[in-house]
Amino acid sequence: MTTSKILFLCVANSARSQMAEGLARQLLRGRYTVLSAGSAPSRVNPYAIEVMGELGIPIGDQFSKSVEDIDPEGVQTVITLCAEEVCPVFLAQAERIHWPIPDPATTDPLPRDQMLSRFRAARDKIWHKLETWSPGLK
């Protein structure tokens, strides 16, 4: 028997999709397999790890994955989180949902407090979307 899977996608699989994976695992508590991936995976952003830790949700052991490495078997829902960039494509049959969340990471040098603020805002938007969307899954 295959457990139903929820897949979060963004480009680098470093911040938004990683935070969504951690938040959904917390919220859904094992009722679904929760995954994340990206079209150009890099590494989990340290700010994402830090702001998730503020909620007691550890994501430091998660790692960036390519969408091409995700087994489509059992993927029930694909949630894309890209806002200003082109989201990865996942070709398997699944419910598709798009939550345009701006990427909190930036190549522009910003002070630490501003970066944390950006990551907290993205985290909180994802949490709100999950709480609104997930009651039917519980």
Annotated catalytic residues are 10, 82, 87
Decide: 122 and 15 in contact? Cβ < 8 Å: yes
User: Quick one: which H or E segment has residue 8?
Assistant: strand 5-10
Closest CA to 63 of 37, 32, 95: 37
Q: In sequence order, what DSSP letters do the residues of 65-97 get, joined into one string?
A: -BGGGS--TTEEEEEE--SSSPPP---SS-EEE
Closest CA to 62 of 48, 72, 51, 73: 48
